[in-house]
């Protein structure tokens, strides 16, 4: 795999380490292995290692800022061999990092509601060499995947768009011992929330304030980010 700028990637990751954002060796190595320039929209490659979200063309969606990606990966504590559900594929960058973290024995399923981003993410993941470990699905991830199925399936669920409340199906699809992350709150300001399942009990903790685009779907926001449910 060819990285266009090793120096820029290292200096970004070093800065995230100094700030205490990248804390584990596993997340550090994953971020050094996945070339972010292969996942940003064409024409913005020169900004790939700035710690900012970048627009994904005119879809109104973004590839999240590296610090937010790292915060979520650290909070998710992904183990080798885990089955992971990501809701909000966007560029496919976070899915590639998850693929690094689960390794060859694990699996990442990532759901995206916009067909053009499904295509974009698949082609980025293919170029970067991760498509064999990541299944990108077109659909409404607010219903989990498969939609509405309630059996425990995933060790980790990460929702990279903001929800008005805990979406019930993704929570129901957590395996015992599983962890789910979701930014909860209205458009403009949310609280990154971590849910843990132990047996049949669920606990949640608020981690930090954040700003994500809305989770638009049947158990999310309506178009425009309005809570219509």
111, 128, 134, 180: which one contacts ligand SAM (CB under 6 A)? 111
- Least CB distance to ligand SAM at residue 215 (A): 4
Which segments within the chain are labelled E, that is strand?
A: 54-55, 62-63, 83-87, 107-112, 134-138, 154-159, 174-184, 190-198, 201-210
If residue 34 lies in a helix (H) or strand (E), which one and from where to where?
Answer: none
38, 99, 118, 216: which one contacts ligand SAM (CB under 6 A)? 216
- Least CB distance to ligand SAM at residue 18 (A): 23
Nearer to ligand SAM, 18 or 136 (CB): 136
Applying CB under 6 A, the span of 83-91, 148-156, 170-178, 190-198 interacting with ligand SAM comes to 83-91
CA atoms within 13 A on the CB side of 161: 25
For strand 54-55 and strand 62-63, is the pairing parallel, antiparallel, or unpaired?
antiparallel
Q: Which residue has the tokens 């995933």?
A: 154
- Residues in contact with ligand SAM, total (CB under 6 A)? 26
Q: Is residue 124 within the footprint of ligand SAM (CB under 6 A)?
A: no
Applying CB under 6 A, the span of 15-23, 136-144, 146-154, 189-197 interacting with ligand SAM comes to 136-144
**Whether the Cβ atoms of residue 89 and residue 59 lie closer than 8 Å to each other:** no
74, 100, 140, 155: which one contacts ligand SAM (CB under 6 A)? 140
Residue 204 annotated in active site: no
Q: From the candidates 10, 15, 24, 64, give the one annotated as an active-site residue.
A: 64
**Whether the Cβ atoms of residue 107 and residue 135 lie closer than 8 Å to each other:** yes
- Least CB distance to ligand SAM at residue 132 (A): 18
- Least CB distance to ligand SAM at residue 199 (A): 28
41, 120, 154, 212: which one contacts ligand SAM (CB under 6 A)? 212
Q: Is residue 190 within the footprint of ligand SAM (CB under 6 A)?
A: no
For strand 174-184 and strand 190-198, is the pairing parallel, antiparallel, or unpaired?
antiparallel
Nearer to ligand SAM, 199 or 224 (CB): 224
Phi, psi of 205 (to 5 degrees): -135, 145
How far apart are alpha carbons 91 and 102 in whole angstroms?
Answer: 19
């Amino acid at each position: 795999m060819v990285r266009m700028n090793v120096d820029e990637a290292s200096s970004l990751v070093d800065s995230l380490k100094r700030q205490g954002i990248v804390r584990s060796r596993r997340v550090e190595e994953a971020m050094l292995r996945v070339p972010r320039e292969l996942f940003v929209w064409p024409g913005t490659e020169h900004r790939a290692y700035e710690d900012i979200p970048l627009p994904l063309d005119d879809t109104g969606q973004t590839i999240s800022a590296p610090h937010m990606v790292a915060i979520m990966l650290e909070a998710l504590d992904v183990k080798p061999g885990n089955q992971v559900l990501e809701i909000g594929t966007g560029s496919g960058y976070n899915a590639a990092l998850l693929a690094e973290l689960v390794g060859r024995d694990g699996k990442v399923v990532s759901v995206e509601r916009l067909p053009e981003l499904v295509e974009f993410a698949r082609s980025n993941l293919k170029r970067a060499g991760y498509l064999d470990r990541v299944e990108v699905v077109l659909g409404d991830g607010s219903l989990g995947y498969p939609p509405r199925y309630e059996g425990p399936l995933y060790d980790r669920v990460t929702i990279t768009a903001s929800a008005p409340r805990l979406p019930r199906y993704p929570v129901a699809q957590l395996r015992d011992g599983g962890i789910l992350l979701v930014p909860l709150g209205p458009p403009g300001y949310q609280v990154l929330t971590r849910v843990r399942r132990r047996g049949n009990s669920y606990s949640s903790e608020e981690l930090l304030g954040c700003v994500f685009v809305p989770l638009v779907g049947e158990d999310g926001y309506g178009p425009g980010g309005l809570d219509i449910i």
